Structure 1
């Protein structure tokens, strides 16, 4: 490929970006801007993927690609994410606009895509700007999360061309065994015992015995919480929902259950702090549920099942990190911390069941 005058001073980020190949591809991609990339910065992104802010001519672009050592489905996941973002174009779901997709893994060693940059922040911890000083802005964060969740739940997967993103048949009936099997799979790790996660049997039994009667199948983001949502610093609103790698078919109320599991309220079990601070001014879980019901038309009397399922599912998933710490693949303090949160989630699920 010809040299496009790219400066030797641009970092290749450990081999993640071949600038000569990327600039040649950009010339034919239809991506905004012109000429070679003149500046690049690696951004904080998901654990599985790498995110870069690129400057090209008069435009900034976000490049998202898998890690250097590809997993079996890394390229497929990139293509899937890009497909979802394209399908959401024109919907009420706040999301970054897809700009260009590269399905030729030879360009950078993996499939990747470009999307528009979003203004704002996505994080846990201390809130910035007016969110830190104005409780009405913090209240709006909950409202905006519910609006985004209900908007995604209102998308028709068939009309959007996304009806093949999962198995809708008997989705509700399959959930307990699906995540219990995941947990039991960690038993192959020496030193890990799935029985160390409390209340799994009790919560799983309740979920199986109390299946909801109001069921719908739609799109589920899969990890809808503060670090995966960009909030604008200019107004109390969501700029866009990020990290679409887990999107699948399921009951959209699970996304609200996920939000509720990340929430903080008086009366929760001990051992958890708010995900963002300061916390005063945020809506209660009950207010979030009521708002979702008004926007979606769902029967929110079913919500405890989805809330408990979110806790159950996340706890089972988090135990993978605890098991990895037993094998020396994750620092032991990290494993203990994650296990403590998984235990909190199962304790919260038991509290939900008790009413």
Structure 2
């Protein structure tokens, strides 16, 4: 929970910004898929969600949250479903060493945690949820990042060419902390990706970790209420987000152990998701297999990092084993897709 000193500092900071005053009420932690801290609370009759870094912050935790603040602010007024930013504290002085921000609560649910009614009993609604994710991605890919003030948010020039060496270096950095990596076909996948890099693409906002657990669905219908967890966002090739969705879609190798919708029947198929995106986007999808393989490669290496940290005693061993299994599945999926390409 938040300490008394953190609550006092938060209240004073909110007062200085003209937000409704009074005691912080109904403070409760919100469970999520990241290591950041999130809390819901009420003050002065208004509901808030607070997001800050983990109690024991890693290098870069604050910078990642600053990126989230900026992209959420930029998305205001666009067609992209996202949590509305209320106020941001990018300085580390209010809470010493930590940044945080306040956003509007989202009336929705995480479909990897629960599958409420009417979604649980209506196959057509479940089928439409995957298509709605494609709709949300197409809306994100259509945003002019320069027009919304994100012209300097990333380095789009050479973005695709940097991916393989960048993530091979990340994988190499794990060596020495555990007896690995033991991932199938790393060199073969890297070689294929390097040889087949798409040469024509248009930069845009990239969420960076777009999968079923990072969206909230409306409780009334199949629409996406909000895309959440923007800490890996940048300016790059938005088709990598579509590749990420397909690489992690329930039923593929490398499944992440989700429940809820991920175990339900009647989901939209990969071809349907691609066709839905294509119908709402002007982007060239002829190389979509390449983007899915890159997603498998990059996510597999990211997950393997938790396996390495578990060996070093910095993450739960069971989590490390589970994510290593998922990483192996992702590389197996990549090899299968290369063979079929």
Question: What TM-score comes out, normalization by structure 1 length?
Answer: 0.89
Aligned equivalents of 2:69, 2:62: Cα separation in 1: 11
Aligned equivalents of 2:90, 2:309: Cα separation in 1: 32
Give the corresponding residue for 2:156: 168
Q: How far 1:165 sits from its partner (Å)?
A: 2.1
Give the corresponding residue for 1:139: 127
SS of equivalent to 2:235: strand
Please state if 1:128 is matched with 2:116: yes
Q: How far 1:250 sits from its partner (Å)?
A: 1.1
Give the corresponding residue for 2:220: 234
Q: What is the aligned length?
A: 338
Please state if 1:42 is matched with 2:37: no
Aligned equivalents of 1:317, 1:16: Cα separation in 2: 36
Give the corresponding residue for 2:147: 159
Q: What are the within-5 Å matches in structure 2 for residues 73-84 of structure 1?
A: 73-84=60-71
- Which among 65, 70, 76 is matched to residue 57 of structure 2? 70
Give the corresponding residue for 1:336: 321
Aligned equivalents of 2:278, 2:206: Cα separation in 1: 16
Q: How far 1:100 sits from its partner (Å)?
A: 1.0
CA contact (8 A) 1:75 1:111 kept: yes
Q: How far 1:346 sits from its partner (Å)?
A: 0.5
Q: Deviations over 1:187-236 (max 9, x none)?
A: 131x3223x11111111111111112441211110111122111111222
- Which among 288, 293, 299 is matched to residue 314 of structure 1? 299
Give the corresponding residue for 1:259: 245
Aligned equivalents of 1:108, 1:161: Cα separation in 2: 27
Please state if 1:217 is matched with 2:203: yes
- Structure 2 CA distance for partners of 1:23 and 1:261, relative to 1, 3 Å: same
Please state if 1:29 is matched with 2:17: yes
Q: Deviations over 1:68-115 (max 9, x none)?
A: 233333333322211111100111100111111223423233221111
Aligned equivalents of 2:236, 2:38: Cα separation in 1: 27
Give the corresponding residue for 1:201: 187
Aligned equivalents of 1:214, 1:278: Cα separation in 2: 37
Aligned equivalents of 2:240, 2:319: Cα separation in 1: 27
Aligned equivalents of 1:277, 1:171: Cα separation in 2: 31
- Which runs of 5 or more residues in structure 2 are unaligned? none
Q: How far 1:277 sits from its partner (Å)?
A: 4.2
Which is worse superposed, 230-239 or 324-333? 324-333
- Which among 268, 281, 302 is matched to residue 287 of structure 2? 302
- Structure 2 CA distance for partners of 1:81 and 1:17, relative to 1, 3 Å: farther
Give the corresponding residue for 1:286: 271
SS of equivalent to 2:280: helix
Larger radius of gyration: 1
- Structure 2 CA distance for partners of 1:209 and 1:270, relative to 1, 3 Å: closer
- Structure 2 CA distance for partners of 1:138 and 1:25, relative to 1, 3 Å: same
- Which runs of 5 or more residues in structure 1 are unaligned? 1-12
CA RMSD of aligned residues (A): 2.0
Q: How far 1:175 sits from its partner (Å)?
A: 1.1
Following superposition, which runs of at least 4 residues in structure 1 exceed 6 angstroms of deviation?
270-274
Q: How far 1:332 sits from its partner (Å)?
A: 2.9
Q: How far 1:36 sits from its partner (Å)?
A: 2.6
Please state if 1:92 is matched with 2:79: yes
Q: How far 1:240 sits from its partner (Å)?
A: 0.8
Which is worse superposed, 169-178 or 44-53? 44-53
Please state if 1:246 is matched with 2:236: no
